[in-house]
Chains A and B, each alone.
Chain A
């Protein structure tokens, strides 16, 4: 099953909409709650990243019998050094974003901890693509 969600950058009031919707769908599909939780934690982080940094973003989610894959594609500043961004505590978030409780530099490391596969590719000045995947063990 395929789902798409548009993310509005800068709209923190609706940040988390896609992860919440996907959670509802996975609950209906009787996916194990611990798997749902891991995915939602990672997806929420990724979604907030787009809201905080990008100019435009789309989330594509695919649910298969054995796995859930999510691809987040944004047009934005891109990440100059992905390895650095994977380190805990590293953040480029603006002070305004940090004021709202985001931007602690835990985004990518936290995502990695919660999913089975994480792929990040980025081009400076163009945008970032994050792919994450969790296995469903029935």
Chain B
């Protein structure tokens, strides 16, 4: 029985020309070329977006919810990651962005990083209370959570079982709106996502049955609407009233960028970005080669969420703008002022009670079989096959490597004749295995 996982990453079969860029870029070897088109194994895909980035013809796309759905709610809340503002050209003020978001249909705009300080506090507490599972690994990046589940099942106990700032923000907005008289069914909580992994995390969350988020709007789609609105309004202004649009600490605004969590962590902490580098590092963690690391911030994208596949602006410029915002906040923090969102005591208590998620289960794609004896037989078969294969990883069979091809033959019954190198005379599995 195979569980179903929602994946926002899809292949446009018309556009796909069957080249091999995606199969080589995938960190979980989830993609094969079948009948000349890319095909994604859904239990292997972790929604990191490497295939999207590496496809030369744009054949990989990210599915999205219909934007019109926000109209079915009275309270239309945009849960906005700070990178949305960060990616916009500097001549557009934060206030102008907020106003444009309201102009295109939202009634409320809430920047998620406002929850960062609360999240830091809770994360520190969790790390202190779970010293036996060191190094504790942040669950902020859903692609990393999924990478660990499928490739490093032994490290799932190290995952921090707490909801990220997004879910905290959604909970807070809902509570506060209901205090003002809104009914639950009137509230639509929409996440403006910078990547595909966050969509998967909302549609099929790990550690809980259903997400609190109503729907997901892709950042690049909304970026177009917002810029169009700002141009249409001929709005030209600079940052003026910053007290409404900078309700976070100078550190909190940087949460989603690389080092955003590590910088604030207690004890020995490391930050690693880029899904392939994270994979290499996790091998070391699994080999138990490092000791006394308390906390790991791991992100699938280079530069963290600024490098998300749906972020329109250049990642380094996005980081720069957010750092400028951080400096601005620092300047008024230095005078003793602070506009950091104050959580009402009753809401805070409810959020704390609602913070944890259930155990995140491993789902290894590495194991050859559930049963060890069968797995050993399959491994022997793979070894025999590998000796016959050219081991040049040409990709013509549709698999990323000869090793992966040998595994496909044994696990998925892929025909040996897919290999262009093998002499058709010996290309019978039974002949090879008998040798």
Contacts and interface: CB of A to CB of B under 8 A. Distances in A.
Interface residues of A, number: 23
B287 A28 contact: no
Given A27-B366, A30-B364, A30-B367, A41 B372 contact: no
A96 interface: no
B154 interface: yes
A34 B283 CA distance: 15
Contacts of B266: none
A67 B364 CA distance: 21
Given A20-B283, A37-B288, A28 B380 contact: no
B379 interface: yes
B328 interface: no
B375 A29 contact: yes
Contacts of A41: 288
B132 to A, nearest CB: 13
Interface in A2-42: 16, 19-20, 23-25, 27-31, 33-34, 36-37, 40-41
Given A20-B283, A30-B367, A33-B154, A63 B376 contact: yes
B376 A1 contact: yes
B186 interface: no
What interface size band does chain B fall in? 20 to 34
A90 interface: no
B369 interface: yes
B35 interface: no
Question: Secondary structure of the A side of the interface?
Answer: helix
B55 interface: no
Contacts of A65: 372-373, 376
A19 B372 contact: no
A115 interface: no
A30 B375 contact: yes
A19 B368 contact: no
A25 B379 contact: yes
27 contacts: A1-B376, A1-B379, A1-B380, A23-B287, A27-B153, A27-B154, A27-B364, A27-B367, A28-B367, A28-B368, A28-B375, A29-B372, A29-B376, A30-B364, A30-B367, A30-B368, A30-B369, A30-B371, A30-B372, A30-B375, A33-B362, A34-B154, A40-B286, A40-B287, A44-B289, A65-B376, A138-B372
Given A27-B367, A37-B286, A44-B289, 5 more contacts: A1-B379, A27-B154, A27-B366, A28-B375, A65-B372
Interface of B: 153-154, 283, 286-289, 362, 364, 366-373, 375-376, 379-380
Interface of A: 1, 16, 19-20, 23-25, 27-31, 33-34, 36-37, 40-41, 44, 63, 65, 136, 138
